[in-house]
Amino acid sequence: MNEALARLLELSEADASLRTLEGRLADLAREVERLQARLVAEDEAFRKRQEEHRALRLSALAKSGEVDDTDAKIRLYQHKLEHDIIPYKEMEYLREQVGYLRGRLDELTDEALRLMAEADLDEEKLKADTAEHAARRRRLEEELASVEREREGVRAEREALRSRREALAHAVPPHLRASYERVRSAGGSAVVPVVGGACGGCRLRLAETTLEKVKADREVVTCEHCLRFLYWRPS
């Protein structure tokens, strides 16, 4: 292979490697976003779990407060009945209230005890949930850190390849480099092999004269259809 074509091929291979690295970086960026979203979702789910427990505990405390308030009313009404001089109608009303409140007190006490027991059990469950949440979060953070390290490595590889690519580009004669960049900007590889008598890029049949020139390897030959640079690859 003549020297100019060899340099073009090396430049093309460097560009292909750069495209691969850019694709890998895009994949890693999406993976970082996915892991960050999972961390946010994990924290949000755990926050809701904590709120549920807090609501249960507050409900139990509120019910205990109702028990205390009801008991205080019973004591107050009973004190009035036993020590105050009050009208008969008020006395009857207070007696009715004491009877009702004592029945209500039993219901409230049972409900308060049930809620407190439920809150205590849930608190134990929350301790286990907290440990599991911390473990899941730690795994996600470790996975994210691993992806970030890989991304930094690929970035470093890309920067090194960019420097090498720049040196390779300067080694190509200016007129060929300009043609190469025009073809490359259209997408795909600008340097392709001849495959079965056709251009390895556009897949169109090449003229016999073009094929002979490529085989002779005395000059840089381009496809008459897509202007890609051609080289002969022995079968």
Q: Are residues 145 and 48 in the same domain?
A: yes
Same domain, 100 and 211: no
Q: Is 234 buried (19+), middle (13-18) or exposed (0-12) by CB count in 10 A?
A: exposed
Q: Please report the pLDDT score of residue 187 as a whole number.
A: 84
Q: Do 183 and 155 sit in the same domain of this protein?
A: no
The alpha carbon of 195 is separated from its chain's Cα centroid by a whole number of angstroms, namely 43
Residue span of the structural domain in which 72 resides? 17-171
Do the domain assignments include residue 195? yes
Structural domains of the chain, count: 2
Q: Is the dihedral of CA 41, 47, 50, 52 positive or negative?
A: negative
**Amino acid 234: pLDDT:** 76
Domain boundary among 121, 138, 171: 171
- pLDDT tens string, the chain, 235 residues long: the values are 789 999 999 999 999 999 999 999 999 999 999 999 999 999 999 999 999 999 999 999 999 999 999 999 999 999 999 998 889 899 999 999 999 999 999 999 999 999 999 999 999 999 999 999 999 999 999 999 999 999 999 999 999 999 999 999 999 999 999 999 999 998 889 999 999 999 999 999 999 999 999 999 899 999 999 999 999 987 6
Q: Do 139 and 191 share a domain, yes or no?
A: no
**Residue 30 falls inside a structural domain:** yes
Res 235: pLDDT = 64
- Cα–Cα dist 97/111, whole Å: 20
Decide which of 171, 188, 207 is a domain's last residue.
Answer: 171
